[in-house]
A = this chain, B = another copy of it.
Amino acid sequence: MNDTIEILRTLGVQPTPQRIAVADYVLNTEGHPSADEVLARSRETCPTISRASVYNTLNLLVDKGLLKAHTLREGAVVFDRNTERHHHFIDEESGEIHDIPWEHLAVSGGSNLADFQIRDYQVILRGRKKES
């Protein structure tokens, strides 16, 4: 919470209660929430926050590089506090999205893609998470 305020200040962003509520949740979750989920969670600590402020803050954090937006789900963008390169596993039953560390998979054969300048890539896996 105090950390969150500090982070916002470091970015040169005024730490308003609304921004703190959004950042505090979204930067401290392992999940991949949609804007709607962020809105709901932010209202727990800042009940009057509006949809517009949530979108503003999320887009701000993406611009500042603290957050990544992925279009992994149908219908809604999800936000990911993990900004390092990584892959994604999507559980087709629960809809849950799990991060897969970059080192866990290797992609080879890029030399076949001479026509393309590749700036970024990731593997998207789908299936079911085993009970654990």
Contact = CB atoms under 8 A, between A and B. Distances in A.
Given A105-B110, A107-B106, A126 B115 contact: no
Size bin of chain A's contact surface: 35 or more
Contacts of A2: none
Copies in the complex: 2
Interface in A82-112: 89, 92, 98, 100, 103-110, 112
Interface of A: 71-74, 77, 89, 92, 98, 100, 103-110, 112-130, 132
Nearest to A75: B71
Given A74-B71, A74-B77, A121-B123, A113 B100 contact: yes
B104 A123 contact: no
